[in-house]
Structure 1
């Protein structure tokens, strides 16, 4: 699979996901800049929180880098999933659930003590799960499933 479909899947899923994060942040009465700095603090520690817009921009870059990995992994698996083009919705739902589990039950708790998973309560589980299914897994599966069609030799 070529890089263009992965880039498109990254941009679509990444934009939908970060838009939902921004909306939830605003609805919670919190700072979007602080939320983005928090994303950047995963790999960069305290540095992003002390650097205003630069730290927020780093958070946006980290977010899209993570989404690129998510799209890239799906693209690597796509050739091994024979019914992907016909059943992209099923694969997208499953992939979104898997991404949620990895992010909220492994990555976040390992990086930030007490974050994610079981500590989130029912609403804190269902909303991110729905976001990962509807706004990340399904778009990635649709875009990359469509592009995984066998190419005719030229």
Structure 2
């Protein structure tokens, strides 16, 4: 079943960027809440850990500037995740038509790519301890993030 929406004047880029902002914000809320409750980690530190992908350990001494870089990197990556799904959906329309069916595995693919490719290849210090609760929560959240990517990609296709 396909849901129809009223006509929109927005370009595909509007939906892709809005999807990246939505995805990035929800992911930051998730990470900041999880680590804030579990380990009393400040949001600035979370953003610095993202900046560490570029700056390495120096990000943790870079204050608000490193946190801002981390936020910029985070939202750029989130937007690229939505864009990638959108581009794939222009070739395979079913990806945009069945957002849950294809969005869930896309989210799992994102989790695997970030965990096993992007972060290890970045300048960020590698984790020294595994937190099973973080791993499980991250897998679940990334599956949901995939659905968000798919939904915004569908909007971009429908109204772009």
TM-score scaled to structure 1, two decimals? 0.84
Paired residues, number: 148
Alpha-carbon RMSD across the aligned residues, in angstroms, is 2.2
Do the aligned residues in 1 keep the contact of 2:12 with 2:159 (CA within 8 Å)?
no
Which position in structure 2 is the counterpart of 1:54? 65
Aligned counterparts of 1:75 and 1:128: Cα–Cα separation in 2: 23
Deviation of 1:82 (Å): 2.1
Unaligned 5+ runs, structure 1: none
Unaligned 5+ runs, structure 2: 1-10
Between 1 and 2, higher relative CO (CA 8 Å, sep ≥ 6) is seen in 2
SS at 1:45 equivalent: helix
Which position in structure 2 is the counterpart of 1:18? 28
| CA deviation map 1:46-84 (0-9, x unaligned) | 343222111111111111011111111111111112223
Q: 1:142 and 2:151 equivalent? A: yes
Which position in structure 1 is the counterpart of 2:6? none
Aligned counterparts of 2:44 and 2:96: Cα–Cα separation in 1: 38
* Matching of residues 50-129 of structure 1 within 5 Å: 50-111=61-122, 112=124, 114-115=126-127, 120=130, 122-129=132-139
TM-score scaled to structure 2, two decimals? 0.81
Do the aligned residues in 2 keep the contact of 1:78 with 1:144 (CA within 8 Å)?
yes
